[in-house]
């Protein structure tokens, strides 16, 4: 194996350890169910793009993760699902983009405004939520893209942050800031590691974020990254609900890596209450200047 491949393998291993769940985390009497929603009202990422009736790579991966850990995954792009029975689901996973209540030619039916409210109420009532990559590019807040807003869209307020823009794909550093988060403790994860990915810039961070990974911006190429370090993955409580978000998940090799797959299982384990861990706010300590955005 070439040195470059070894470095990439090491990086992907580190990525998976950042969320690696405890074995047996899904040992529940009642089999749990996760709704994976992948509707794209704007740009559709290749990770959620289907070919005919064949599921996308991320849908196939998440269903396999569910099989290994004893929970079911229901995949859909049809927004009408949120007008139906949400009690059947223990958690929701979103890889979406744009205003999901707006129709799009050739795309599945949108959510209704009532459906959006029902989703947020379900999470606040105790359901788990996992946001992946472009989930933060959904339901944008009103106001300039390069500014933080006082009034944040309710969906993004639940999520804990909002997408601004991204530059070219490149190798960049992530810093682990919650070494005792379930799956991180005892795994020997280095404080920082590198990864090739499409890196999002984010804003409108909730003040109660428990940051797990910080995006290190020093040395990154692109005007949008010329800012202090900011959260890339986090957990937070939304009333009774448990929310996890990670900006990672654009590239197919990320989805194909077994360590990343175990990482998704770990995030869902915590969000569904199968793994207990307190998530006190730490954003002011680990990313104190996260709200400082580039002027451009």
Question: What is the domain-level CATH number for residue 107?
Answer: 3.40.50.880
In a domain, residue 291? The reply is no
Q: Predicted confidence band at 250 (pLDDT cuts at 50, 70, 90)? A: very high
Find how far residue 22's CA is from the centre of its chain: 19
Query: What pLDDT is attached to residue 155?
Result: 98
Query: What pLDDT is attached to residue 21?
Result: 47
In a domain, residue 295? The reply is no
Residue 157, classified by CB atoms within 10 Å of its CB into exposed (0-12), middle (13-18) or buried (19+), is middle
- Give the dihedral sign, CA 43/47/51/54: negative
Domain that holds residue 227: 3-20+31-286
The model carries a pTM of: 0.92
**Torsion angles phi and psi, residue 115, rounded to 5:** -60, -40
272/26 Cα distance (integer angstroms): 9
Q: Is residue 2 pLDDT above 50, yes or no?
A: no
Q: Is residue 127 pLDDT above 60, yes or no?
A: yes
Query: What pLDDT is attached to residue 227?
Result: 98
Mean local confidence (pLDDT), 104-122: 96
Task: Identify which has the larger pLDDT, 167 or 261.
Answer: 167
In a domain, residue 130? The reply is yes
In a domain, residue 214? The reply is yes
Please enumerate in sequence order all residues whose Cβ is within 8 A of that of 233, keeping only pairs 6 or more positions apart, or say none: 18, 19, 211, 212, 213, 244, 245, 246, 247, 248
The proportion of the chain whose per-residue pLDDT surpasses 90, expressed as a percent, equals 79
Q: Using an 8 Å Cβ cutoff, are 127 and 88 in contact? A: no
178/214 Cα distance (integer angstroms): 10
Tokens representing 46 are: 């290749």
Task: Identify which has the larger pLDDT, 41 or 8.
Answer: 41
In a domain, residue 26? The reply is no
Query: What pLDDT is attached to residue 6?
Result: 36
Q: Note the pLDDT tens digit of each residue in 212-226.
A: 999 999 999 999 999
In a domain, residue 199? The reply is yes
In a domain, residue 193? The reply is yes
Q: How many domains does the chain have?
A: 1
65/261 Cα distance (integer angstroms): 6
In a domain, residue 44? The reply is yes
Mean local confidence (pLDDT), 134-153: 96
Nearest to 98 by CA among 48, 55, 64, 62: 48
Q: Is residue 175 pLDDT above 80, yes or no?
A: yes
Helix (H) or strand (E) holding 203: strand 200-203
């Amino acid at each position: 194996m070439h040195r470059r491949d070894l470095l990439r393998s090491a990086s992907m291993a580190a990525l998976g350890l950042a969320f690696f769940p405890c074995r047996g985390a899904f040992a529940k009497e009642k089999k749990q169910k996760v709704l994976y929603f992948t509707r794209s009202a704007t740009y559709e990422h290749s990770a959620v793009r289907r070919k005919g009736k064949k599921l996308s790579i991320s849908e196939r991966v998440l269903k396999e993760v569910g099989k290994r850990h004893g929970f079911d995954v229901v995949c859909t792009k049809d927004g009408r699902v949120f007008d139906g029975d949400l009690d059947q689901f223990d958690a929701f996973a979103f890889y979406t983009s744009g205003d999901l209540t707006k129709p799009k030619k050739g795309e599945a039916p949108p959510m209704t405004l009532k459906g959006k409210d029902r989703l947020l109420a379900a999470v606040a009532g105790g359901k788990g939520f996992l946001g992946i990559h472009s989930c933060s590019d959904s339901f944008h807040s009103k106001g300039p893209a390069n500014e933080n807003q006082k009034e944040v869209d309710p969906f993004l307020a639940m999520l804990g942050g909002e997408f601004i823009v991204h530059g070219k794909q490149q190798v960049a550093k992530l810093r682990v800031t919650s070494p005792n988060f379930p799956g991180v403790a005892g795994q020997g994860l280095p404080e920082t590691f590198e990864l090739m990915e499409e890196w999002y810039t984010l804003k409108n961070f909730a003040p109660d974020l428990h940051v797990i990974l910080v995006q290190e911006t020093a040395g990154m190429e692109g005007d949008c990254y010329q800012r202090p370090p900011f959260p890339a993955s986090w957990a937070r409580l939304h009333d009774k609900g448990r929310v996890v978000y990670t900006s990672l998940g654009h590239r197919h090799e990320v989805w194909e890596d077994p360590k990343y797959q175990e990482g998704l299982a770990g995030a869902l384990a915590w969000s569904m209450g199968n793994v207990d861990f307190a998530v006190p706010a730490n954003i002011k300590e680990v990313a104190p200047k996260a709200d400082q955005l580039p002027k451009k």
